[in-house]
Amino acid sequence: MTRTRRTWIRDVVNRFRIIALQLLEEALHVSAAYQRQATWDRKQRAAYPGRYYGGDGTLHDNVELDVELFNGQVVAVWFRCQVLPFVQEEVSQARADEVQGLYLNRTALGKITGVEIMDPRSDYQENPDGDEA
């Protein structure tokens, strides 16, 4: 076999390897996207008749609540872009000390990845399978 023919065969084999790697990379990307969507769908079904908010289904990826204050009063509590209901209560000094101690080691706290929301019920609500509730 001549050197030119061997070079040509080697080039063809290398091109096929590149194409195979590109196809594999694309398949893995599609598989990961499918897995994210399947996880999202499972969480939505589990939250029915409410809905799941969080995970990869939001623009933001923060894992803590955002508490907004005005003149020392809580005016809103948010998880990402979802406003959450809240009750503001005055507590004793002992309770304040106890709870503030929990936040000293922030790495020991859990992370919020999503919340289940029960919206005010409308006259018509669709369940995750597309049937009327």
SS (H, E, C) the chain: CCHHHHHHHHHHHHHHHHHHHHHHHHHHHHHHHHHHHHHHHHHHHHHCCCEEEEHHHCCCCCCCCEEEEECCEEEEEEECCEEECCCCCCCCHHHHHHHHHHCCCHHHCCCCCEEEECCCCCCCCECCCCCEC
**pLDDT(53) > 50:** yes
pLDDT at 6 over 70: yes
Same domain for 63 and 38, yes or no, is no
Q: Report which of residues 10 and 133 the model is more confident about.
A: 10
Query: Domain of 61?
Result: 55-117
Looking at the domain assignment, is residue 25 inside a domain? yes
When divided into structural domains, the chain yields a total of 2
pLDDT reported for residue 123: 47
130 assigned to some structural domain: no
